[in-house]
Amino acid sequence: MTDLSKGAAWINGRIIPIADASIPVTDWGVTHSDIGYDVVPVWKGAFFRLEDYLDRFMASLKALRMEIPQDRSAIRTALAEMVAASGLQNAYVAMVAARGRNPVPGSRDPRDCDNHFYAWCVPYVHIVKPEIAQTGTSVWIAKTVRRIPQDSVNPRVKNYHWGDFTSGLFEAKDRGFETTMLLDHDGNVTEGPGFNVFAVFGDRIVTSDHGVLHGITRQTVLDMAAARGMGIETRALPLEEFWQADEVFLSSSGGGVIPVTKVDDRHFSNGAPGPVARHLRADYFEWLDRDALCTPVPYP
**For 1-39, what is each residue's pLDDT tens digit?**
689 999 999 999 999 999 999 999 999 999 999 999 999
Structure confidence at residue 4 (pLDDT) = 97
Domain holding 271, by residue range, is 130-287
Residue 288 pairs in a beta bridge with: none
Q: Is 30 left (phi over 0), alpha (psi -120 to 50) or beta?
A: alpha
Low-confidence ranges of the chain (pLDDT < 50): none
Cβ pair 79, 88 in contact under 8 A = no
Q: Is residue 298 part of a domain?
A: no
Q: Are residues 146 and 252 both part of a single domain?
A: yes
pLDDT of residue 89: 98
- Burial (CB < 10 A; 0-12, 13-18, 19+), residue 250, is buried
Domain count, the chain: 2
Question: Is there a single domain that holds both residue 262 and residue 149?
Answer: yes
Let me know whether 40 and 155 are in one domain. Answer: no
d(CA 146, CA 214): 19
SS3 assignment, position 47: strand
Which of 117, 135, 139, 125 lies closest to 41, judged by CA? 125
**pLDDT score for 49:** 98
Is residue 48 included in any domain, yes or no? yes
Element (H, E) at 217: helix 216-227
| 100 Rama class: left (phi>0) / alpha (psi -120 to 50) / beta | left
Residue of 6, 12, 234 whose CA lies nearest to 116: 12
Which burial class, exposed, middle or buried, applies to 12 when counting CB atoms under 10 A from its CB (0-12, 13-18, 19+)?
exposed
Q: What integer pLDDT is reported at residue 143 of this predicted model? A: 98
Domain boundary among 93, 123, 153: 123
Q: How many CB atoms lie within 10 A of CB 100?
A: 22
CA angle 200, 225, 219 (to 5 degrees): 100
Is 233 contained in some domain? Answer: yes
Q: Are 176 and 170 in contact (CB under 8 A)?
A: no
Instruction: Specify whether the CB–CB gap between 181 and 226 falls below 8 A.
Output: no
Q: Is residue 257 part of a domain?
A: yes
Asked if 81 and 182 sit in the same domain, the reply is no
- For residue 272, the domain's CATH number is 3.20.10.10
pLDDT at 268: 97
Structure confidence at residue 228 (pLDDT): 98
What pLDDT digit, counting tens, does each position of 246-256 carry? 999 999 999 99
| Residue where a domain terminates, one of 123, 142, 168 | 123
Q: Are residues 41 and 184 in the same domain?
A: no
User: What is d(CA 217, CA 223) in angstroms, rounded to the nearest whole number?
Assistant: 10
Whether 198 and 108 share a structural domain: no
Indicate which CATH number applies to the domain containing 66: 3.30.470.10
Quote the pLDDT of residue 84.
98
Domain end, chosen from 123, 146, 161, is at: 123
Q: For residues 119 and 144, state if they share a domain.
A: no
